[in-house]
Amino acid sequence: MLYGIMVGDRPAIVGEGEGGKPVVEAAKPEAPEGYEAVDSWADNGTELRQSWALQPVEGSAAEAAVALAKMQAAELSDGDAVKVPALYDEWSGDGVEYKKGDRRRFQGTLVKCLQDHTSQPDWAPNAAPSLWAVILPGQDGSGVTVGIWEQPGPDNAYQLGDQVIHNGHLWESDFDGDNVWEPGQVGSHWVDKGEWDGGTSLPAAE
């Protein structure tokens, strides 16, 4: 056990029996990118206790806000992620270690990593369907985000509640599973919600 006395805002270590109080250190937290761990000390009357706080590294408040938003972006659902693609870095083929679930921008679309791998130039998302899948607009099941239907693959199929526009109509998936069928086809598991007016409003409810 260490003993100390406060000198300014830091403890000074003294020998046992020299009027010091127990010094209680706290584990330093791991700081995410853009932040640093800063410690402080307080005398609570019986001991000198250390605490830590995460603070933005030196830079503007805007830079700190962007860094924080990018950290939080990893926790977003795919449906929310496609609404804020700017929070994700561009895909790189320069030996980057990608993990399953990572999302990146590529040629104007947002893509999701399907398996851990180290990137290389000839494994771009449009050339490696086993490694990357496009997150298609409308795939959030909210009934609010509507996208133009695109043919999905087995790794980015539409889900129950997803809404798309196809052949001038709004369609909603009623299949509780992976919907890879084209809207309007027999047995396609899409419900025709009415004609799409080409604007931002949804067709009137039936």
pLDDT at 155: 76
**Count of C-beta atoms within a 10 Å radius of residue 102:** 18
Query: What token pair was written down for 51?
Result: 């605490």
Q: What is the mean pLDDT of each run of 10 residues along the chain (206 residues)?
A: 90 88 92 84 90 77 78 84 87 94 87 91 87 73 63 82 85 88 90 73 42
Among residues 202, 200, 199, 180, the alpha carbon closest in space to that of 189 is found at 180
What pLDDT shows up at residue 178?
85
Compute CA distances 59 → 62, 91, 178, whole Å.
8, 26, 45
List Cα–Cα distances, 196 to 47, 48, 83, 109, in angstroms. Answer: 69, 67, 21, 24
What was the pLDDT predicted at 79?
73
Q: Is 65 left (phi over 0), alpha (psi -120 to 50) or beta?
A: alpha
pLDDT of residue 176: 87
For the whole model, what pTM was predicted? 0.49
Q: What is the pLDDT of residue 146?
A: 67
Q: Coil, strand or helix: which one is 85?
A: helix
Would you call 139 helix, strand, or coil by DSSP? coil
